[in-house]
Structures are given as C-alpha cells and as structure tokens.
Amino acid sequence: MLQDHCSADVQVRPDGYATIVLRGRLDAESTPACWSKLEKELRSARVSAGQVDAAGIDFCDGSGIALLRYLSLGGMTQGAIVTIHGLKPEFQRLFEGFTADDYKTFRPKPLPRPRLPEEVGCAANSVLRDLREQVGFLGSVTAGMAGTIWNRKRMRWPEVKRVFELAGANALPIISLISLLVGLIIAFESAQPLAQFGAQIYIANMIGLLMVRELGPLMTAIMLAGRSGSAFAAEIGTMKVNEELNALQTMGLDPVRFLVIQRIMAGVLLAPLLTVYSMCLGVLGGVLVMLSLGFPIKLIYNQLISSLDVSDILLGISKGLVFGIIVAFVGCLRGLQTRKGPSAVGESTTRAVVSSILLIIIADAVFSVIIYVLER
Amino acid sequence: MNSDGDIAISVKNLKLGYDDLVLLQNINFDVRRAEVFIILGGSGSGKSTLLKHMIGLYQPIEGEVWIAGRNLVTAEGDERLAILRNFGVMYQSGALFGSLTVLENVQLPLEEFTELPQPARELIALSKLKLVGLAEAAEKMPADLSGGMQKRAAIARAMALDPGILFMDEPSAGLDPITSAELDALIKNLSRTFGITFVIVTHELASIFAIADRVIMLDARAKTIIAEGKPADLRDHAPDEWVRRFFNREPEPAGAHGS
C-alpha cells in the first residue's frame, strides 16, 4: 500500500557505519519533516560512512532527490560518504540527472569580501566619473541650446509647451497648498515669542523676507525636483530602456537637442513664475494670520513694503531661475544615464531627486555667501 | 476513449470577454496528461486571453476550468492555492524578477510554498537549471541573459515545485531558429521523461509540427474553436479552408475569409 508520508529509520553501528532506511513518499510536503529528523539523528552520531536503503520509496520528486543527493554528499554526516541503494529505476534516472560533481561545479561560490581601500577607490572613481559626465553634459546642453534657441523648428516649442503644462500648470495646486500652509505655520509659530516683546507687527517683515528671499524659491525648487525632475528622469530613462534613444540617434537626431533642451527651456521659464507664485501664497498665509491677530490690512501692507526691496524680489527670482535649471538639468542627465534592468528607471528617478536637492542646497549656500559679501 | 484519470485539464462551456464584449464562447476541450497541447489562432483571436482564463488570472463570463479535479473558476482561498500549485506558468517575456539572481528566481517558489531547508532549495533549483541547460548562469542577473536564456530560466522557475502542468505563452517568440529548436526539444523531453502536460500558445508553425500532440484553433470571427486535431491532419484534411491555408502559410485571397 502506498504511503502519503515518508518514514526514516537510522541505525549507527559502534564503528560509525550508518544504515538509513527510507520508505513512503518523498515530495515537497513530506520531505521537510524527514530532512529534519535525519539531520537531527545523523548530526548527533559520529558517522564515518553509511548507506541509504531507498527500496521502500514509492514516490520521489525534486525534493526527495535533493534529500538523497544531500545525504550522498555527506551534508548530514560531516562529509562522510553515504551511498544510495535500491532506488526504483525511474527515480534513479532523476537522481543521476544531477550528480555530486554537478553540485560542486554549479553551486554559488561565496563572493570575495570587499576591502576598504578598494571600496573607497571605487566610490571616488564613481564620483569623478559622474562629475566628468556632468561637465560633458553641461557642454552638450550649452552647445545644443546655442544651436536651437533661435531655430523655431529645432526648438520644438509644442513640446516645451507640453512640458510647461505638465510640470508647471499642473503643479499649481500642490504649490499653492504648501506655500500657504508654510506661511501660516511660520506666522503662527513666531506670533507667541514675538508677543512677549510686543513685536508681533514684525511677523510681516519676517514672512516677507523669508518667503521672498529664501523659502519661496527653495520650496518651489524642492517640489519641482520631486514632481518634475523625477518625471524627466523616468520619461527619458524609460525611452532609453525601450531603445527609443537609439532610434533617435540612428535617425541622426541628437537626444540632447531633441529631448533635453525643451525640458531645460521649460524649467528656465517655469521656475521663476512658480517661485513668484509661491512667494505670494506664502506671504498671503502670513497676512491671514496677522489679520486673525487683529492687525489692520493697511498696517500689514506698510510693514511688508518697508521690509522688502526690489533687490529681494530679484534675488528670489534669480534663485528660482538657477534652481529650475538645476532640476531640469539633473533630471535629464539622470534619465540619459539610465542603465539596463528593470530597476534602472527607479534608480535614475531616485538619483535625480537626491542630486537635485543636494545641488539646490549647495547653490542656495553659494547665493547666501555672494549676497553677504555684496551687502556688507 | 480516455478515462477521466487521463484528463489533466477540462474546459467546459467557457465564455470569455471584457464588459459586454464577448471574445470567445462555447469553448470546450480536454487536455490529456503528458500531452503537448497547442492553442493556435490568428492575431487577436483570443489565444493569450484564453490561456489567462485557464490559469485563473481572468474570470470568465461563464463556464468552468477543471484542474486536478477542482474548478478553478469558482475556487477561493486555500482551495484556489491548492489548484495553483498544480501548474507552473512561463510568460512571454520570461517575467523573471530583475532584482534576484537566476538561482534566487528559481528558489523563490520553494521558499514561499515549502518548508524545505536552504540546501534542499539550492539543490532543487540547481537541478532544474541544469535540466534547462542554465546551471552555469545560476549566479547571473536576468538582465545579463539573452532572450532564449531568460525563457529557459523561466521554465526552470515554473518547474521548481514539480508541477504536473506547464502553461506557456509564446515560448518561441523572438528567438532565433536554433534556440527555438532547442526549446522545442526541451519541451518534448520534459513531456516524455517527466510526464508533464504542456499547454502552449504559439504562432510558430515549425514548433507546432515539432512538438504538438494536439492543436485547437481559435477564430476571431467565429469566436470559438474552429478546428481540433493533430497538426499534420489539420494541414492536409481540415474541412475549413482557412485552417488549411494557415498551416500551409498561404495568404488569404483579397476580400475572402475561409471560416
């Protein structure tokens, strides 16, 4: 009668010779229990050699063959060789289909442990290579821009308009919400400490300067990086994976001129506009808080005007412009750097956002130093 | 006449489509054990859609798909999982997981569905890879394999749990004739040696004549099976002229359709 499970009996002679008798069904369901039982009994005994009596095995699939092969390799007997006897011919063919030599040849070899100097060298090399690619890409974009900007057909203005709409007009709701809330939050947070000095009126000065000089451009740029820079990288990266970039090249079209210039142009036009919009909404948030605190609108207006200069607004817009170029430039570069494989587009998108934000913060710090020197 | 014990899959009165659109109806056929069964038809005839209904990815409008004595259409929960474990599927693209090595891809079903320890999983996965001639590529990533190698790795993964049935969607598509012939030989060998039942969707006439035991032919206009039998019989003696033209690779006369 056929058994629906496997039984395993182990006998070890005093001289260390083990006899293992297997009976029943060895499949993916029954093998795990049999495996643990054998492993427990054989590991606790000092086995020098052994044999498996497999005549009682009624059914054996890949799992059973794996158990027999592991036993024959000495996997449970500290390397002591175990021979298999009595296996039915149909199972014997399966057993011989994957030999001990096959296992030794094909099993994965442990990877060499990385060494610190090697790792540091690789990382430094990767940073330098990336820097070189960025400089090269900057040159290609500049040359492409010079050859395209005055040529209406080559510029492909409908594409610029499409990107402008996707990255700009469609971003207005999220930029409105975040800018307004940040303005509200800063005004609320500062109202209490300033009240202790009777200086709540200066909330207007603070909100004006903060939103126009710093937070408006910075928040807009970070939102652009997360929303549009990542989209540029994903779009171009997918085109690269689908070999659309190769198709462009074989048609004699430069991908930089065909895809990148339009996105950078859209970024250049878009970022200052979104920055001004974000500044206005942020200031509006602060004004709403001041109105709720009982300050008349005329007083708030006068305070804002007295604290802000045209140069502050120009500084904010300039920052927006530079940040916009950075976001579009990095998004397109990371898209073009996309490698092979299903996770490549995701990696490019992540790299686009991280690199954009890093470069935006560095550019902001450079702006601060320059302004400090100029205004001293 | 075959007894029920010889039947691996039984499709009964299947009607399938999307929303109000009926793609196929009155689909009835049995697939015998260890048979290489081909689903054939022109472009857009619903071959892949029928396959996806047979493996439970889509729900039919009506009808039944019996596998291992259970109806997949109505099965839920553990019963459905039990049916799914009876078959493996090889998708047209291979559908290997790109973040795992080839060996890890093959080991994945064993990790998820069995209690086997790691050495057993590794041994089984390596033996399946050897069977499809890919043991040397065990540590490679799927992106580093050619199209044919990816398909063979997908077969190894589909066979990891030793299923009795393998479904394949366009296994030869995009392969060169030599690789395609190697894949055909592998399918034939697996069917003869291990008694695996194959249900294959394909267009490749050379493959069909090399491996098929039986063929059904679907037609988009008739929305049903228009021919069933051995490929050579259909080529020479099919009552439907369009079926004969299909097997003989003859173009359709302008403005005519044989079915």
Cα torsion angle, A192, A197, A201, A202, sign:
negative
Is B209 within the bounds of a domain?
Answer: yes
Nearest to B94 by CA among B37, B164, B170: B170
3-class secondary-structure state, position A343:
coil
pLDDT of residue A16: 86
Looking at the structure, tell me whether residues B199 and B142 fall in a common domain: no
Interface contact B124-A107, CB threshold 8 A: no
Tell me the backbone φ, ψ of residue B226, rounded to 5 degrees.
-105, -10
Return the residue of A nearest to B103 by Cα.
Answer: A108
**H helix intervals, B55-176:** 77-84, 102-113, 118-131, 147-158
User: Which letter does DSSP use for residue A58 in this model?
Assistant: E
Distance CA A29, CA A6 (A): 10
Contact criterion met (CB below 8 Å) for B53 and B218:
no
Interface contact A97-B131, CB threshold 8 A: yes
Looking at the structure, tell me whether residues B21 and B80 fall in a common domain: yes
**CA-based nearest distance B167→chain A, Å:** 19
Return the residue of B nearest to A62 by Cα.
Answer: B124
Is B149 within the bounds of a domain?
Answer: yes
Looking at the structure, tell me whether residues B11 and B115 fall in a common domain: no
Which chain B positions have a beta carbon within 8 Å of A340's beta carbon? Answer: 143
Distance CA A107, CA A94 (A): 19
Looking at the structure, tell me whether residues B156 and B176 fall in a common domain: no
Q: Which tokens in the block code for residue B207? A: 């493959």
* Separation in Å, CA B186 to CA A96, B139, B182, B233: 18, 22, 6, 24
Query: For the stretch A340-366, what's the b/e string if a residue is b when 16 or more beta carbons lie within 10 angstroms of its beta carbon?
Result: ebeebbebbbebbbebbbebbeebbee
Is B33 within the bounds of a domain?
Answer: yes
Please give the full DSSP string across B9-66, using - where no structure is assigned.
EEEEEEEEEETTEEEEEEEEEEEETT-EEEEEESTTSSHHHHHHHHTTSS--SEEEEE
Is B31 within the bounds of a domain?
Answer: yes
Looking at the structure, tell me whether residues B156 and B168 fall in a common domain: no
Beta strands B87-90 and B70-71: pairing type? unpaired
Beta strands A49-60 and A17-26: pairing type? parallel
Is B124 within the bounds of a domain?
Answer: yes
Which chain B positions have a beta carbon within 8 Å of A43's beta carbon? Answer: none
pLDDT band at B191 (very low <50, low <70, confident <90, very high): confident
Residue-wise pLDDT tens digits, B201-234: 988 888 899 999 999 999 888 899 999 999 889 8
Q: B85, B121, B123: which to substitute to probe chain A, counting the most A Cβ within 10 Å?
A: B123
For residue B256, is pLDDT > 70?
A: no
Interface contact B122-A107, CB threshold 8 A: yes
The edge-to-edge listing of strands for the beta sheet with B70-71 is B21-32, B7-18, B62-67, B70-71
Interface contact B135-A69, CB threshold 8 A: no
Q: Which tokens in the block code for residue A322? A: 């530079």
Distance CA B41, CA B220 (A): 8
Is B258 within the bounds of a domain?
Answer: no
Q: How many domains does chain B have?
A: 2
Looking at the structure, tell me whether residues B209 and B245 fall in a common domain: yes
* Separation in Å, CA A83 to CA A21, A32, A65, A69, A118: 12, 21, 13, 10, 46
The edge-to-edge listing of strands for the beta sheet with B214-219 is B87-90, B165-169, B197-201, B36-41, B214-219, B224-229
3-class secondary-structure state, position B167:
strand
Which chain B positions have a beta carbon within 8 Å of A27's beta carbon? Answer: 162
Q: Where is A249: in which H helix or E strand?
A: helix A244-250
**CA-based nearest distance B198→chain A, Å:** 18
Looking at the structure, tell me whether residues B114 and B208 fall in a common domain: no
**CA-based nearest distance B253→chain A, Å:** 36
Looking at the structure, tell me whether residues B119 and B145 fall in a common domain: yes
Q: Which residues of B touch A (CB under 8 A)?
A: 98-99, 101, 103, 110, 113-117, 119-124, 126-131, 135-136, 138-139, 141-143, 160-162, 193
Which chain B positions have a beta carbon within 8 Å of A106's beta carbon? Answer: 126, 129-130, 135-136, 138
**CA-based nearest distance B193→chain A, Å:** 9
Q: Which residues of A touch B (CB under 8 A)?
A: 27-29, 31-33, 35-36, 39, 61-63, 65-67, 69-70, 75, 93, 97-98, 102-103, 105-109, 340-343
Interface contact B114-A67, CB threshold 8 A: no
The Cβ of residue A250 has, within 10 Å, a number of other Cβ atoms equal to 9
ipTM of the complex: 0.78
Rounded to the nearest 5 degrees, what angle is found at the Cα of A96, between the Cα atoms of B182 and B179? 10
3-class secondary-structure state, position B8:
strand
pLDDT band at B122 (very low <50, low <70, confident <90, very high): very high
Looking at the structure, tell me whether residues B114 and B232 fall in a common domain: no
How many beta-carbon pairs below 8 A join chains A and B?
88
Q: For chain A (length 376 residues), average pLDDT per consecutive 10?
A: 72 88 88 90 85 89 90 87 87 86 87 87 92 91 86 83 88 93 93 88 92 93 94 93 86 88 91 94 94 92 91 94 95 91 87 95 94 86
Looking at the structure, tell me whether residues B170 and B236 fall in a common domain: yes
pLDDT band at B259 (very low <50, low <70, confident <90, very high): very low
Residue range B99-123: mean pLDDT, rounded: 91
Which residue among B98, B129, B161 places its CB closest to the CB of A28?
B161
Interface contact B123-A98, CB threshold 8 A: yes
For residue B5, is pLDDT > 80?
A: no
Interface contact A28-B116, CB threshold 8 A: yes
Nearest to A325 by CA among A108, A117, A145: A145
For residue B68, give its domain range: 1-86+164-180+193-249
Return the residue of B nearest to A28 by Cα.
Answer: B114
Q: Which tokens in the block code for residue B49? A: 């859609």
Interface contact B98-A103, CB threshold 8 A: no
pLDDT of residue A4: 63
Is B206 within the bounds of a domain?
Answer: yes
Angle between helices A230-241 and A344-375 (to 10 degrees): 140
Looking at the structure, tell me whether residues B28 and B144 fall in a common domain: no
Nearest to A8 by CA among A80, A82, A73, A78: A82
Interface contact B113-A108, CB threshold 8 A: no
Which residue among B122, B135, B141 places its CB closest to the CB of A102?
B135
For residue B179, is pLDDT > 80?
A: no
Q: Where is A44: in which H helix or E strand?
A: helix A31-44
Beta strands B7-18 and A6-12: pairing type? unpaired
Looking at the structure, tell me whether residues B118 and B19 fall in a common domain: no
Which chain B positions have a beta carbon within 8 Å of A33's beta carbon? Answer: 115
Which chain A positions have a beta carbon within 8 Å of B103's beta carbon? Answer: 108
* Separation in Å, CA B107 to CA A100, B112, B128, B130: 19, 9, 10, 14
pLDDT of residue B1: 41
Cα torsion angle, B125, B130, B132, B136, sign:
positive
CATH number at residue B237: 3.40.50.300
pLDDT of residue A253: 84
The Cβ of residue A71 has, within 10 Å, a number of other Cβ atoms equal to 26
pLDDT of residue B255: 58
**CA-based nearest distance B124→chain A, Å:** 6
Interface contact B126-A106, CB threshold 8 A: yes
Is B7 within the bounds of a domain?
Answer: yes
Residue range B172-195: mean pLDDT, rounded: 82
Residue-wise pLDDT tens digits, A284-319: 999 999 999 999 999 999 999 998 889 999 999 999
Which residue among B103, B120, B143 places its CB closest to the CB of A66?
B120
Interface contact B162-A63, CB threshold 8 A: yes
Question: Strand pairing partners for A57?
Answer: A24
pLDDT of residue B254: 66
**CA-based nearest distance B139→chain A, Å:** 6
Domains belonging to chain A, first-starting first, are: 6-106 (3.30.750.24), 136-375 (no CATH)
Interface contact B130-A106, CB threshold 8 A: yes
**CA-based nearest distance A8→chain B, Å:** 16
Contact criterion met (CB below 8 Å) for A202 and A299:
no
Return the residue of A nearest to B142 by Cα.
Answer: A341
